[in-house]
């Protein structure tokens, strides 16, 4: 374990919400893509919901990141060197890679949103209809798959970003990238389930989302165990009094939904709202504890 | 003129006068923080956006039973392999013609990734300017053939400035001299860490006592790229396989 003498970067609420919404945006895109590729025609409605959820979550991300900067007007310095006007890209710096990935993923999420909104009947503009026609065949599937790869990156790299530092806890474990990804997929599945339930009958897909979320939650729990194992004695910093409440929320957002979802598969509709709600709460709490506790 | 400069801070000569801190603030027009009583002679606290030199005071008990201080004027190390420069996404942090590490204030956008990376607690975020700030090695003075303000002001020559190679020789000779005199705890810090620091220190205790990671702990942020991305990749594969299985229709039940 590395002995650290560092100052905290003061990454606080903007960053916590970015990590949370980035997980939803990237994860929802991945889920929408997989539902279309591997689901049946009855899942198309839920797949559209996934793309409709991914876009607004994605749009907020660069706004949060810009507001967090000391000099928000210089947000473009992330991509372009303001002295030489060459492109800035450092593959070994996750923040540099992430800025580009968010930029590119933003384009995919926007186009897929336009397509989903057109298919839903919200958009009738000729350009939107042309985009939708363009994406109706094999090219559309390829487009989604590439977009989903960027989505996976956005959901997971934020954990790597924390680890590629010299901060205690963050740089002492390999688990954060995977943990944020598993949690991102889980909160995305929960968001899609909640939104689907609010405006359409999607009973078929709901069971599929629940089954997928079980996998994501089990992965997340396994990685939380790995987190504590890799941190060893340093875990104490994560378990101080005020963080215990957050860990309780994390547990409530993982273990409880697993239990409730098994129940809801036996037909208890109230649980199918409660379970995804808890997943969202737990996903936020997980990011809060990991961001704040390491800098305390 | 391009050259490779360095500091050598000999802590055995430091008298804790803080002339270095004052000269630094004067030259670099740093207003400093509001005074704070810290129950110690050290009312500076740490290196940050306002404090680019920081005189540390470490109390210890002498063999005769008295109390004495180990003092050390800390500063940015201008590492040959700099953690801050490694992660900086805007390329605001550059290596100058003097081989020093410099944050260009007109390029920095205040993302603070460098603060998370620096293993020496050197860089601070200035709320007023919205920038990450640290010692510039008196870049403007070097460009005008002047020596850095701290070294100029130091009355005991505890802070020495010169060509890095020359500083290494001076530091090596001083450690050898002290050792020959029986000062066995004297040791050189900075010749191995991070590819060699541009601020060398003669220490009277182990590095950790001064808040400096030893050679084993002086590691770069990028060490974690591979294993963290690998962890994400394995999770992605497991998650995708699980989702594909979950999304397939099961015998018509859906």
Contact list in B for residue A164 (CB cut-off 8 A) is: 87, 117, 221-222, 224-225, 228
CA A203 – CA A272 distance, rounded (Å): 11
Burial of A130 (0-12, 13-18, 19+ CB in 10 A): exposed
Chain A residues touching B48 at Cβ < 8 A: 7
Distances in Å between the alpha carbon of A86 and those of A62, A78, A80, A97, B97? 21, 11, 6, 15, 20
How far does the CA of residue A127 sit from the closest CA of chain B (Å)? 32
- The predicted complex's ipTM stands at 0.94
The residue ranges of DSSP E strands in chain B, in sequence order, are 5-10, 53-61, 67-75, 93-95, 101-103, 124-126, 131-133, 159-163, 187-189, 199-203
- Give the residue-averaged pLDDT of A276-289: 96
pLDDT at A260: 78
In this complex, is the C-beta atom of B247 within 8 Å of any C-beta atom belonging to chain A? yes
Judge if B36 and B69 occupy the same domain: yes
Q: Which helix (H) or strand (E) covers residue A194, if one does? A: helix A176-199
Task: Determine the pLDDT at residue A52.
Answer: 96
The fourth-level CATH superfamily of domain A13-295 is: Formate dehydrogenase/DMSO reductase domain (1.20.1630.10)
The reply to whether B33 and B104 lie within a common domain is: yes
Name the residue with tokens 């060398």: B200
Q: B11 and B62 share a domain?
A: yes
- At A201, list the tokens: 């009958």
**CA separation for the pair A146, A266 (Å, rounded):** 37
User: What residues of chain B lie within 8 A of the CB of A265, using their CB?
Assistant: none
Q: Tens of pLDDT along A87-113? A: 999 999 999 999 999 999 999 999 999
Query: Two tokens at B159?
Result: 């802070």
- The separation between CA B4 and the C-alpha centre of its own chain, rounded to angstroms, equals 18
Q: What is the CA radius of gyration of chain B?
A: 23
**Structural domain of B176:** 5-219
Q: Does A124 touch chain B (CB under 8 A)?
A: no
Give residue B254's pLDDT: 38
Q: Where are the domains of chain A?
A: 13-295
DSSP secondary structure of B15-27 = ----HHHHHHHHH
Q: Touching check for B50 and chain A: CB below 8 Å?
A: no
Predicted local distance difference test score (pLDDT) of residue A198? 77
Q: Rounded to a whole number, what is the distance in Å from the CA of B177 to chain A's nearest CA?
A: 30
Output Rg (C-alpha) for chain A, integer angstroms: 20
A contacts of B227 (beta carbons < 8 Å): 174
Question: pLDDT (tens digit, 9 = 90+) per residue, B168-183?
Answer: 999 999 999 999 999 9
pLDDT at B197 over 90: yes
Spatial neighbors of B145 by CB under 8 A, at least 6 apart, are none
Co-location of B157 and B236 in the same domain: no
| CB pair distance less than 8 Å for B213 and A11 | no
pLDDT reported for residue A1: 78
Cα torsion at A133, A188, A72, A164 (round to 10°)?
-120
Residue B252 has pLDDT above 60, yes or no: no
Structure tokens at A98: 């992430």
Give the burial class of A201: count Cβ atoms within 10 A of its Cβ; 0-12 exposed, 13-18 middle, 19 or more buried.
exposed
Average model confidence (pLDDT) across chain A:
93
Number of domains in chain B: 2
Judged by CB atoms within 8 Å, which residues 267-296 of A form the interface with B? Answer: none
User: CA of A103: how far to CAs of A76, A116, A151, in Å?
Assistant: 11, 20, 11
Looking at the structure, do residues B148 and B248 belong to the same domain, yes or no?
A: no
Listed by number, the residues of chain A in 173-212 with a beta carbon closer than 8 Å to a beta carbon of chain B are 174-182, 185, 203-205, 207-209, 211-212
Q: Are residues B197 and B232 in the same domain?
A: no
Residues in Cβ contact with B96 at an 8 Å cutoff, skipping those fewer than 6 apart = B102, B137, B139, B142
Please give, rounded to a whole number of angstroms, the shortest distance from the CA of B207 to a CA of chain A: 11
Q: Within this chain, do residues B54 and B161 fall inside the same structural domain, yes or no?
A: yes
Q: Indicate whether B9 and B48 sit together in one domain.
A: yes
Check the CA dihedral A172-B81-B134-B130 and report its sign.
Answer: negative
pLDDT for the residue numbered A242: 86
Q: What is the DSSP letter of A169?
A: T
Query: Model confidence over A169-194: pLDDT tens digits?
Result: 999 999 999 999 999 999 999 999 99
Residues of A in contact with B208 (CB under 8 A): 3
Instruction: Of A132, A216, A68, A255, give the one whose Cα is nearest residue B244.
Output: A216
Confidence of residue B37 (pLDDT cuts 50, 70, 90): confident
Q: Residue B108: list chain A partners with CB under 8 A.
A: 70-71, 74, 77
Helix (H) or strand (E) holding B168: helix B164-180
In a 3-state reduction of DSSP, which class is residue B89?
Answer: coil
The whole-number pLDDT of residue B1 equals: 57
Report whether pLDDT(A267) > 60.
no
| Cβ contact, residue pair A160, B118, below 8 Å | no
Q: Is A23 on the interface with B (CB under 8 A)?
A: no
Name the minimum distance, in Å, from the CA of A48 to any CA of chain B: 15
- Check if B120 contacts A (Cβ < 8 Å): yes
> Looking at the structure, do residues B154 and B127 belong to the same domain, yes or no?
yes
Mean pLDDT, range A74-93, rounded to an integer: 96
Beta strands in chain A (DSSP E): none
Residue B39 and residue B141 in one domain = yes
Q: Residue range B13-30: average pLDDT?
A: 97
For residue B195, count CB atoms less than 10 angstroms from its CB and return exposed for 0-12, middle for 13-18, buried for 19 or more. Answer: exposed
Contact A160, B228 (CB under 8 A): yes
Q: How far is CA A249 from CA A190, A211, A253, in A?
A: 15, 22, 6
Q: What is the mean pLDDT of residues A46-66?
A: 97
Which CATH number does the domain housing residue B187 bear?
3.30.70.20
Q: Which residues of A touch B123 (CB under 8 A)?
A: 7
One domain, residues B97 and B131: yes
**Residues in B touching A177 (Cβ below 8 Å):** 228-229, 231-232, 235
Nearest CA in chain B to A77: B90
Q: How far is it, in rounded angstroms, from Cα A94 to Cα A162? A: 9
Strand residues in B85-193 grouped as ranges (E): 93-95, 101-103, 124-126, 131-133, 159-163, 187-189
Joined tokens for residue A182: 């598993």
First to last CA, chain B: 74
- Tell me, yes or no, if A263 comes closer than 8 A to chain B by beta carbon: no
Partner A, chain B 54-113, Cβ-Cβ below 8 Å: 83, 86-92, 104, 106-113
Do B198 and B213 belong together in one domain? yes
């Amino acid at each position: 374990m590395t002995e650290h003498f560092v100052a905290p970067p003061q990454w606080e609420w903007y960053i916590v919400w970015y990590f949370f919404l980035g997980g939803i945006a990237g994860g929802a895109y991945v889920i929408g893509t997989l539902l279309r590729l591997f689901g049946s025609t009855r899942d198309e409605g839920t797949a559209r919901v996934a793309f409709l959820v991914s876009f607004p979550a994605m749009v907020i991300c660069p706004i949060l990141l810009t507001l967090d900067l000391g000099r928000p007007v210089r947000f473009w310095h992330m991509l372009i060197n303001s002295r030489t006007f060459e492109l800035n890209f450092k593959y070994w710096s996750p923040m540099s890679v992430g800025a580009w990935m968010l930029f590119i993923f933003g384009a995919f999420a926007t186009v897929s949103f336009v397509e989903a909104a057109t298919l839903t009947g919200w958009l009738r503009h000729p350009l939107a209809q042309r985009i939708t026609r363009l994406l109706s065949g094999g090219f559309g599937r390829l487009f989604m798959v590439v977009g989903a790869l960027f989505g996976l990156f956005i959901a997971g790299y934020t954990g790597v970003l924390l680890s590629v530092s010299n901060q205690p806890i963050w740089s002492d474990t390999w688990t954060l990238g995977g943990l944020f990804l598993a949690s991102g997929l889980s909160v995305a599945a929960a968001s899609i389930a909640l939104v689907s339930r609010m405006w359409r009958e999607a009973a078929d897909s709901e069971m599929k989302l629940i089954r997928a979320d079980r996998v994501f939650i089990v992965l997340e729990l396994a990685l939380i165990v790995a987190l504590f194992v890799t941190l060893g004695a340093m875990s104490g910093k994560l378990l101080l009094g005020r963080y215990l409440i957050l860990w309780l929320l994390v547990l409530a957002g993982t273990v409880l939904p697993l239990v409730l979802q098994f129940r809801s598969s036996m037909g208890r509709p109230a649980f199918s709202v409660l379970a995804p709600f808890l997943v969202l709460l737990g996903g936020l709490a997980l990011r809060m504890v990991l961001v704040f506790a390491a800098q305390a | 003129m391009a050259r490779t400069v360095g500091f050598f801070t000999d802590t055995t000569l430091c008298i804790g006068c803080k002339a270095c801190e004052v000269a630094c603030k004067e030259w670099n027009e740093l207003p400093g923080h509001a005074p704070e009583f810290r129950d110690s002679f050290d009312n500076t606290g740490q290196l940050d956006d306002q404090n680019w030199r920081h005189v540390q005071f470490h109390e210890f008990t002498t063999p005769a039973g008295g109390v004495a201080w180990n003092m050390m004027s800390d500063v940015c190390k201008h590492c040959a392999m700099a953690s801050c420069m490694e992660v900086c996404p805007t390329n605001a942090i550059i290596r100058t013609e003097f081989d020093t590490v410099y944050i260009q204030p007109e390029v920095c956008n205040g993302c603070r990734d460098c603060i998370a990376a620096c293993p020496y607690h050197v860089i601070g975020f200035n709320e007023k300017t919205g920038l990450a700030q640290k010692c510039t090695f008196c870049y403007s003075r070097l460009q005008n053939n002047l020596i850095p303000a701290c070294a100029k002001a130091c009355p005991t020559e505890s802070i020495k400035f010169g060509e890095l190679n020359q500083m290494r020789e001076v530091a090596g000779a001083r450690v050898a001299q002290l050792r020959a005199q029986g000062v066995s705890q004297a040791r050189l810090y900075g010749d191995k860490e991070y590819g060699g620091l541009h601020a060398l220190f003669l220490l009277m205790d182990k590095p950790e006592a001064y808040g400096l990671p030893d050679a084993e702990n002086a590691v770069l942020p990028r060490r974690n790229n591979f294993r963290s991305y690998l962890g994400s990749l394995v999770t992605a594969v497991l998650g995708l396989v699980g989702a594909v299985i979950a999304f397939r229709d099961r015998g018509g039940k859906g």
